[in-house]
Amino acid sequence: MNTLEAQSPIETTGAETLAAEFAVPRTWTEALVVELDRRVGLLIASMRDGLSNPALKHLVVTDAEVDHLLGGRNGHDETLFAGSLLAPLLEYSEARTKLDRLCRAFALDAFEIEVLLACLAPEIDRRFDRLFAYVNDDLTKPRPTIDTLLRLLASAAEHLPLQRRLLADSTLLRLGLVVCDDRKTPRNGMFRVADGVVRFLLDYDGIDERIARLRADRDAPALARKLWRARAAAGTVAAALADIFATLGEDAVSDAETGTAIVLRGRAGCGRTHALDLACQRAGIGRIDLDARKFKAYAGEVAELTIAALRDAHLHGLVVAIHHADVLVTEADAQDECCAAIRSWLRAYGGCVVLCAEESLPCPLWFPTAVSIEFELPPLAIGERETAWTLALGETMAWPDETLVPIARALASKFRLTEAEIAIAVGQAKAPLMAASDDDDRARILHDVVGRSATPRLHRLTDAVTTRHSIKDLVLPEDRMALIDDIVRRVQHRRTVMEDWSFDDLSPRGKGLIALVHGASGTGKTMAADAVAHSLRMRLFRIDLAGVVSKYIGETEKNLRTIFDEADRMDSVLFFDEADALFGKRSDVKDAHDRYANIEINYLLQRVENFSGIAVLATNKRDHIDDAFLRRIHISIEFPMPQASERLRLWRRSFPKNAPLCAQIDWEFLARRFEFSGGTIRNAALSAAFLAAESGGEIGMRELVNAVRIEIVKSGRRMPQGEFGRYAEHFERGAAATRSESVSRIAT
């Protein structure tokens, strides 16, 4: 006897026993079990009619079996298929409603519904696992196969025409209503009902286990939701979305000839999910949320998983929302799979898909037959940020207005954050704020915490520079100093001019400031960037070209985008030293290298134009900067070599208060005779200090003359000693003394 036959419960709990137990089935699932038990029992009985020994089926073909295959019939078909599998179920209103919904939603016929029900049986009663294994004559196949379903649901004459309903391009498999474990060749695989359809038919809670892999997580703090609710723009967008969702009732979903693709645009943390929640709540409609960032982990399955989400949304009258859809722009494989699935679905079944992204998406190109709509949650204006900071700090710290208002105003002016970022920053600063002693301490803590949390990726591609100098430390001609003051003035009063006076309405371009400082090395360009950032109380970030420029195609643009996006979140100064390396002139395309180099420059042109922060570009070679960049620069300052009066000020400022300076230093001689840049003068001052430290005395003309000689030799020039005038004697004695002391020290 076959092992399966010995263990099969069909002898003791067959159709008669089950029918006696469920003489009057109470639910449609009990009625389904009774009918399938009857059919499976008859099918198994036909396998025991003596035509073959089940234990030797694959080894022996008997004469009786050959006669049967050649045309012998025993009337079994008429008994097995007496009546439809659906007939006893339609007496139950719940079954009629669910099955009717399936038929209308996906245009299924009676046979396809029966296939679904037959595959559903093991989900209701696990006995069918062993029964189907017996029918399949394979313990490893406890679910129905194509052969099993055809033998169970249709007469032999119908098998061939009905078989196409179970192939890979069939409605059941294409829409993921039924899943086959062998995707490439369903003829050899087992079938089961998709988890989402099982949940629908059996009234289970939750989401399809396959869709759950891509589910978007909700990680915004509770404070962020309070800040979102306080913003009028979220309610406006939600009302517009609700009007669209209201048309997506059950009839509208199934009868729509075209779909709707909605882009909800705005920076991460601006409340896109909150606006969706409000819209769905007002329209009385549910939603399935997917995270496009997880698509990469399921390469090759994205289309199936997307179809599964659209299927369940269509079945329940829901909306599918894909969060972080910007990934579809950068990940070509994910875009191809996901967009192809959505495109075909919207064309066939209509419905609505919402794509949440930070930038605009080419939906008309991706989904040409769908209606494309875009909504934007714009960045918070300074006044809105001040309101958000006031509410967040008031909720968390309960400070008095005289403490709260100035700090909120300063933070709103300096950091361009979203509501979620504000809520997270306040949460991170709460513990140190509790220990703060005064308002200055509180302000410092908040600026430090927010500065670190606002730009986490900026530190990876840039060097944070500690600023020390003020505008007064710069030594420049008066007209150049006026331009430096203009940079500070534009930043300090941009809220008044751009927002209060609405100058930003005149141009859609960025509200930032791009300054170019150019001149010979050592003339103070880097110091000027330092002084501007320090005077504005902003952080200075030097762009690390080695970390930004990549040999891999597209990586440089990604790094630059990260830098500009992060800098847009806070008031900081981006300093591009040796800017001609990035902003150089475009060249004629002679090879692939030239083409991609030009692409990088073109990207920079677009990104600089839309930049809302402050960038200082420094270069020794202004002529090497592309003309298109020069047109986008707001302020250009040439740093000339200092004149004698300016060199005099530089010499005097190059020594700190604690330096042991000799009273008899001829500053006028040094400034008049040697045409050094500010950087060279600082180097000479430092060299003189080391010479004085070696000799154990003060810094005098002997040390300064020798330090000047070192700088002249370092530059590759030769200067006659006569150029030192009456101080040449100090130079000779200093050189001899230095050699003597060095020899003595070595001997010791």
Q: Please give the Cα distance from 437 to 170 (Å, whole number).
A: 72
Beta strands in 139-293 (DSSP E): 178-180, 191-193, 260-265, 287-291
Q: What is the DSSP string of 321-345?
A: EEESTTHHHH-HHHHHHHHHHHHHH
Question: SS in 3 state form for 97-110?
Answer: HHHHHHHHHHCCCH
Task: Check residue 503 and give its pLDDT.
Answer: 82
| Other residues' Cβ atoms within 10 Å of the Cβ of residue 508 | 8
Q: Please give the Cα distance from 350 to 325 (Å, whole number).
A: 20
* Residue from 661, 680, 669 nearest 728 by CA: 669
- Distant-in-sequence, close-in-space partners of 232: CB < 8 Å, separation ≥ 6: none
Q: H or E element: which one contains 688?
A: helix 678-695
**b/e burial code for range 458-475 (CB count within 10 A of at least 16 → b):** beebbeebebebebeebb
Q: Please give the Cα distance from 188 to 180 (Å, whole number).
A: 9
Task: Check residue 328 and give its pLDDT.
Answer: 94
Q: Do domains 212-376 and 471-639 have the same CATH topology?
A: yes
Q: Please give the Cα distance from 404 to 390 (Å, whole number).
A: 7
- Distant-in-sequence, close-in-space partners of 738: CB < 8 Å, separation ≥ 6: 691, 694, 706
Q: What is the DSSP string of 580-618?
A: GGTSBPP----SHHHHHHHHHHHHHHHHHHT--SEEEEE
Q: Is 207 exposed, middle or buried (0-12, 13-18, 19+ CB in 10 A)?
A: middle
In 3-state terms, what secondary structure has residue 62?
Answer: coil
Q: Please give the Cα distance from 347 to 256 (Å, whole number).
A: 9
Three-point CA angle 40, 151, 38, nearest 5°: 20
CA distances 436 to 386, 397, 443, 452, 624, Å, are: 22, 12, 9, 19, 51
Task: Check residue 720 and give its pLDDT.
Answer: 66
Could you name the CATH architecture of 644-747?
Orthogonal Bundle (1.10)
Please identify every stretch of the chain with a pLDDT value under 50, giving residue numbers as ranges: 1-22, 73-76, 250-256, 732-748
The backbone torsions φ and ψ at residue 621, rounded to the nearest 5 degrees and listed phi first, read -130, 80
The backbone torsions φ and ψ at residue 513, rounded to the nearest 5 degrees and listed phi first, read -135, 125
Record the tokens describing residue 688, joined without a space.
């003189």
265 φψ region: left (φ > 0), alpha (ψ -120 to 50), beta (else): beta
Record the tokens describing residue 136, joined without a space.
């399949």
Domains of the chain, by residue range, sit at 3-204, 212-376, 382-452, 471-639, 644-747
CA distances 681 to 522, 523, 528, 647, 684, Å, are: 9, 10, 17, 8, 5
Record the tokens describing residue 202, joined without a space.
């059996």
| Other residues' Cβ atoms within 10 Å of the Cβ of residue 648 | 17
Record the tokens describing residue 682, joined without a space.
């600082």
Task: Check residue 285 and give its pLDDT.
Answer: 92
Q: Please give the Cα distance from 509 to 610 (Å, whole number).
A: 5
The total number of residues shown for the chain amounts to: 748
Q: Please give the Cα distance from 625 to 585 (Å, whole number).
A: 6
Q: Is 399 exposed, middle or buried (0-12, 13-18, 19+ CB in 10 A)?
A: middle
Task: Check residue 33 and give its pLDDT.
Answer: 86
Q: H or E element: which one contains 573?
A: strand 572-576
Task: Check residue 498 and give its pLDDT.
Answer: 79
Q: What is the DSSP string of 346-400?
A: HHHH--EEEEEESS---HHHH-TTSEEEEEE-PPPPHHHHHHHHHHHHHHHH---
Task: Check residue 506 and give its pLDDT.
Answer: 77
Could you name the CATH architecture of 212-376?
3-Layer(aba) Sandwich (3.40)
User: Residue 574 forms beta bridges with which residues?
Assistant: 541, 615
**Contact predicate 187/170, CB 8 Å:** no
In 3-state terms, what secondary structure has residue 181?
Answer: coil
CA 152 from chain centre, in angstroms, equals: 50
**Domain 471-639 homologous superfamily, CATH:** P-loop containing nucleotide triphosphate hydrolases (3.40.50.300)
- Distant-in-sequence, close-in-space partners of 369: CB < 8 Å, separation ≥ 6: 258, 259, 343, 346, 347
Task: Check residue 373 and give its pLDDT.
Answer: 94
Q: Please give the Cα distance from 341 to 339 (Å, whole number).
A: 5
**Contact predicate 564/485, CB 8 Å:** no
- Distant-in-sequence, close-in-space partners of 321: CB < 8 Å, separation ≥ 6: 216, 276, 287, 288, 289, 290, 353, 354, 355, 356
Residue holding tokens 């740093």? 639
- Distant-in-sequence, close-in-space partners of 437: CB < 8 Å, separation ≥ 6: none
**Contact predicate 112/171, CB 8 Å:** yes
Q: Please give the Cα distance from 355 to 357 (Å, whole number).
A: 6
**Contact predicate 328/338, CB 8 Å:** yes
